[in-house]
Amino acid sequence: MADTIQAEAKRPLVLMPAPQISSPDTTQSVMRNVLIALAPAFVASVIFFGFRAALVTIVSVAACVGFEYLWCRLRKLPNTVDDLSAAVTGVLLAFNVPSTIPIYMLVIGDFVAIIITKALFGGIGKNFANPAIVGRLVLAVAFPVAMTNFAAPLVTFTPADVVSSATALSPTAPAITLMDMFLGSEMGVLGETSALAILIGFAFLLATKTVTWHVPVVYMGTVALMSLLTGHDVLMQLCSGGLMLGAVFMATDYSTSPATLKGKIVFAIGCGIITSLIRFWGNLNEGVAFSILFMNLWVSHIDALTRNTPIGGEKKRKGGAKHE
Amino acid sequence: MPTEQSAPPKRLRSNNRIGLMIPHNKATAEMETVEMPLPKQVILPMQQHVGAQCKPLVKKKDHVDVGQLIGHAEARTTADIFSPVSGTVTELRAIHYSNGRSDTAVVIEPDGEQTVAETVKPPVITDYASLVAAVKASGLVGLGGAGFPTGLKMDTDLSSIDCWLVNGAECEPYLSSDYREMMERPQDLLDGIKLCLDLSGVPRSLICIEDNKPKAIDLLRQMAADDPRIDVLELPARYPQGASRVILKNAMGRAVPRGGHLTDVGAILFNCTTMGEIARYVRTGMPLIQRRITVMGDAIANPMNLMVYVGTPTREILDYCGLSCEPAKVIAGGPMMGTTQIDLDYPVIRQQSGLLALSEAFTQVAPTTACIHCDRCISSCPMHLAPIDIQKAYRKGDTAALNELMADLCVGCGICSYVCPAKQPLTQSVGLAGSLLKAERRKARG
């Protein structure tokens, strides 16, 4: 024919099961969003704690990625470094240590996080506890002095010479203004001091639909309510310690938080109550890491008890089996 | 009620959060339907419906007329096949589908005369039973894609049905053929609904349309304003609003029990094009010989809504619309639930609403990685299932757990696979799990 038939597939057509399209999101893009959301807190940590903060973060990321890579090589597993989850763990662990931490301690923490907490339990998605939190708690127990050797912030917005080695939550800490705490000019671990930076990151996570608002808001809301009931300063409690960092970045970890909405809310309330209990009546100044770890252990049970009821799967009340 | 007529038209709307916003890509939505000329041949598979495969009633070299019965099966669940053209049967050949199914196809070469068969005459409709008989005789099937015989669906006890639902959601991305039906032939749709309501005694009808089609919503609201029985329900444009159980939940707040049907909870649902087709059949007696498909995809030079004869081969449609590049993947239906075709010799079947030709870019699949427990499949499942848990249980062969997870409630919409960042094949797993459960149940019954 003169008008040649153009419709000719030279190669065999590709056969695929439905759906034929899929969302552009991948594990890597999800983790990249988390890393981007952590960037403001990173910038804040460098402003307040200087070059050493950047060094700690870079070393921690390098160590985590290195451990993940080595594990995959040694166990002859597919290389999972490029899903960026090890990098996220590295940043989060760095954000959970003071800028003065000796590097070897940091690397031990990274080992605990990546190898012991994550890889030994089957890798991404299968760990039952948040790797960065376990890393932080192991370091806190093993090196209590180094882990509370906080440097004074380089930039301060209140003219006062604050030199101490406890967080603002400690009863002996000197008075610190709320504005300083909100912006991050306080002593503490790298990533937790600036509530503002963390909130910017949270907004990014919400905008990209990486996480939903439920866990962070319910967690912080529970702590606020408990503070109100027990007569503590609500804003001070929200902005101090690791609450915001924990609520936004660590309690929302996919693997270690429940899957359903109901489950997430139960989980977040649990985190909030335990954090408040530790803060107000416990011997520790800070309870975020322990409370999240404790609730991590309950996730499979919460999941089992808060399963969604499928539409049409409601318990039959009348009639019974209509068919068959 | 007299007060209702003076009030402004009701703006019924459902604000559910079921499913997910998926890019619609309905670029052809505002394009008038183009009629494609007679193809060089039509290929008519003997199964273009759910149910028993028809037996061909013609043989090679037979002459057939438009609307002549050429395939029939002695079964309850089946739908007759009619010739859409007049011409000569050139061969009866086997046709194999990508899902492993095989069928016989009657191939007809049109003579261009389009002489209409003597059997084609408007049916005599006196009551609901005669309407059902006429629809059964017309071979009409659900034109939204399911292909369930319409007459059989109508042939049910209607005493408990209080709403005649019409599905104009068209939630599949890319497709706009139902939308064009509502815009171009709204009177047929309303005539069909009125006829069914009049004869069946069902008190009410709801036309359910996604809110990304405001023109169709306005048009049908206006045109149906004089009939208090008919309302338009706006649904949010979130995939999969068009799934029958989702529509039911939104329109009437009811859930179909496991293993049940819509009629068990007082509703019956038809696609909007199917309703229009009932009206046309009753008027003319001509069975469905042409249907509108959306031809789209990045390999198509001129995307359009095309009125084609049933049985037109893909190749001729692609020729007609032009190709901008070599197609790497051809899909019958929409991108979420459609099936890929093995080659370009497949015909358009009567319940097919789209034909997509996609370039190499759409064949790239990101590698499957480990589940990160992100809960997206769970939070977006329209049936509130837990796809990832079902997949785990299915891989363990744990039917007790599958039963508890109610895998058989899956509607196969594909959204779990779509959202999964780890690209796990969740839709297939859940589908397989559902089949396994149903098979186990049959085994248990003996």
Q: Reply yes or no on whether the pLDDT at B198 is more than 90.
A: yes
From chain A, the residues in CB contact with B24 under 8 A are: none
The answer to whether A33 and A210 are in contact (CB under 8 A) is yes
Closest chain B C-alpha to A10 CA, distance in angstroms: 8
What does the block give as tokens for A205? 């996570």
Model confidence at B214, pLDDT cuts 50, 70, 90, reads very high
The answer to whether A299 and A256 are in contact (CB under 8 A) is yes
Say if B420 is an interface residue toward chain A (CB within 8 Å): yes
Q: Do A311 and B249 touch (CB under 8 A)?
A: yes
Is residue B91 within a helix (H) or strand (E), and if so which, with residue range?
A: strand B87-96
- pLDDT on residue A236: 87
Signed CA dihedral, A252, A256, A261, A266: sign only: negative
Q: Where in chain B is the domain with CATH 3.10.20.600?
A: 34-120+287-362
Query: What is the three-class DSSP state of B126?
Result: coil
- pLDDT on residue A320: 42
- First-to-last alpha carbon distance for chain B, in angstroms, is 53
Q: How far is CA B379 from the centre of its chain?
A: 26
pLDDT tens digit string along A235-265?
888 988 889 999 999 999 999 999 999 999 9
Taking alpha carbons only, the member of B358, B170, B142, B427 closest to residue B262 is B142
- For residue A76, is it left (φ>0), alpha (ψ between -120 and 50) or beta? left
Query: What is the three-class DSSP state of B71?
Result: strand
Cβ-based burial of B165 (10 A; exposed 0-12, middle 13-18, buried ≥19): buried
Strands B304-309 and B34-35: parallel
Lowest mean pLDDT among A85-94, A97-106, B7-16: B7-16
Q: What are phi and psi of B45, to 5 degrees?
A: -60, 150
Q: Reply yes or no on whether the pLDDT at A5 is more than 70.
A: no
Provide mean pLDDT across the span B405-430. Answer: 94
Distance separating alpha carbons of residues A236 and A150, to the nearest angstrom: 19
Within the 36-75 window of chain A, which residues sit less than 8 Å (CB to CB) from chain B?
none
Closest chain A C-alpha to B190 CA, distance in angstroms: 30
B2-30+122-284 folds as: Rossmann fold (3.40.50)
Q: Do A310 and B374 touch (CB under 8 A)?
A: no
Q: Reply yes or no on whether the pLDDT at B146 is more than 90.
A: no
From chain B, the residues in CB contact with A254 under 8 A are: 372-375
Cβ-based burial of A156 (10 A; exposed 0-12, middle 13-18, buried ≥19): middle
* Count of Cβ atoms closer than 10 Å to residue B283 Cβ: 14
Q: Reply yes or no on whether the pLDDT at A166 is more than 50.
A: no
A59-68, A146-155, A187-196, B238-247: which is most confident: A59-68
Say if A22 is an interface residue toward chain B (CB within 8 Å): yes
E strands in B218-364: 230-235, 267-271, 290-296, 304-309, 329-332, 339-340, 354-358
Distance separating alpha carbons of residues A279 and A259, to the nearest angstrom: 28
Model confidence at B60, pLDDT cuts 50, 70, 90, reads very high
What does the block give as tokens for B420? 């999964």
Question: Up-side HSE of residue A38: CA atoms within 13 Å toward CB?
Answer: 27
Angle subtended by helix axes A103-111 and A51-74, to nearest 10: 40
Signed CA dihedral, B320, B324, B328, B334: sign only: negative
From chain B, the residues in CB contact with A5 under 8 A are: 315, 319
Q: Do A17 and B425 touch (CB under 8 A)?
A: yes
The answer to whether B34 and B302 are in contact (CB under 8 A) is no
Say if A14 is an interface residue toward chain B (CB within 8 Å): yes
For residue A135, give the amino acid letter.
G
Q: Reply yes or no on whether the pLDDT at A137 is more than 90.
A: yes
Query: What is the three-class DSSP state of B394?
Result: helix
Taking alpha carbons only, the member of B318, B281, B273, B291 closest to residue B183 is B273
For residue A307, give the amino acid letter.
R
Cβ-based burial of A184 (10 A; exposed 0-12, middle 13-18, buried ≥19): buried
ipTM of model: 0.86
Q: Reply yes or no on whether the pLDDT at A214 is more than 50.
A: yes
Cis upstream peptide for A159 (omega within 30°)? no
| Mean residue pLDDT across chain A | 87
Cis upstream peptide for A98 (omega within 30°)? no
Within the 152-191 window of chain B, which residues sit less than 8 Å (CB to CB) from chain A?
173
Cβ-based burial of A274 (10 A; exposed 0-12, middle 13-18, buried ≥19): buried
Q: How big is the CA angle at A70 (ends A66 and A72), to the nearest 5 degrees?
A: 120
Model confidence at A162, pLDDT cuts 50, 70, 90, reads very low
- Cβ neighbours of residue A69 closer than 8 Å, sequence gap 6 or more: A79, A81
For residue B401, give the amino acid letter.
A
Q: How far is CA A125 from the centre of its chain?
A: 14
Strands B339-340 and B354-358: unpaired
pLDDT tens digit string along B338-381?
999 998 989 999 999 999 999 988 888 888 999 999 999 999 99
Nearest residue of A to residue B25, measured between CA atoms: A21
Query: What is the three-class DSSP state of B267?
Result: strand
Longest dimension (CA), chain B: 65
* Count of Cβ atoms closer than 10 Å to residue A179 Cβ: 11
Distance separating alpha carbons of residues B135 and B230, to the nearest angstrom: 22
For residue B433, give the amino acid letter.
A
The answer to whether B285 and B120 are in contact (CB under 8 A) is yes
Cβ-based burial of A175 (10 A; exposed 0-12, middle 13-18, buried ≥19): exposed
The answer to whether A255 and A118 are in contact (CB under 8 A) is no
Name B66's bridge partners: B116
The answer to whether B20 and B415 are in contact (CB under 8 A) is yes
CATH numeric code, B34-120+287-362? 3.10.20.600
Say if A312 is an interface residue toward chain B (CB within 8 Å): yes
Model confidence at A167, pLDDT cuts 50, 70, 90, reads low
Distance separating alpha carbons of residues B339 and B99, to the nearest angstrom: 8
Domains of chain A as residue ranges with CATH: 27-157+176-305 (1.10.3430.10)
- pLDDT on residue B260: 85
pTM of the predicted model as reported, rounded to 2 decimal places? 0.89
Q: Reply yes or no on whether the pLDDT at A324 is more than 70.
A: no
From chain A, the residues in CB contact with B331 under 8 A are: 20
Long-range contacts formed by A282-286: CB under 8 A, 24+ apart: A285/A166, A285/A167, A285/A169, A285/A170, A285/A241, A286/A167, A286/A169, A286/A241, A286/A242
- Pick A179 or A125 by higher pLDDT: A125
Burial string for A198-234 (b: 16+ CB within 10 Å, else e) reads bbbbbebbbebebbeebbbbbbbebbbebbeeeeeee
Distance separating alpha carbons of residues B173 and A23, to the nearest angstrom: 13
Q: Which residue has the tokens 């370039």?
A: B359
Q: Reply yes or no on whether the pLDDT at A161 is more than 60.
A: no
Q: What are phi and psi of B339, to 5 degrees?
A: -115, 145
* Count of Cβ atoms closer than 10 Å to residue B14 Cβ: 18
Query: What is the three-class DSSP state of B346?
Result: coil
The answer to whether B255 and B249 are in contact (CB under 8 A) is yes
Distance separating alpha carbons of residues B33 and B50, to the nearest angstrom: 28
For residue B137, give the amino acid letter.
A
Q: Do A322 and B260 touch (CB under 8 A)?
A: yes
Q: Percentage of residues in chain A with pLDDT exceeding 90?
A: 65
Strands B290-296 and B267-271: unpaired
* Distances in whole angstroms, Cα of residue B326 to Cα of each of A105, B294, B360, B365: 58, 19, 8, 19
Q: Where in chain B is the domain with CATH 3.40.50.11540?
A: 2-30+122-284
From chain A, the residues in CB contact with B340 under 8 A are: 13-16, 20
Say if A1 is an interface residue toward chain B (CB within 8 Å): no
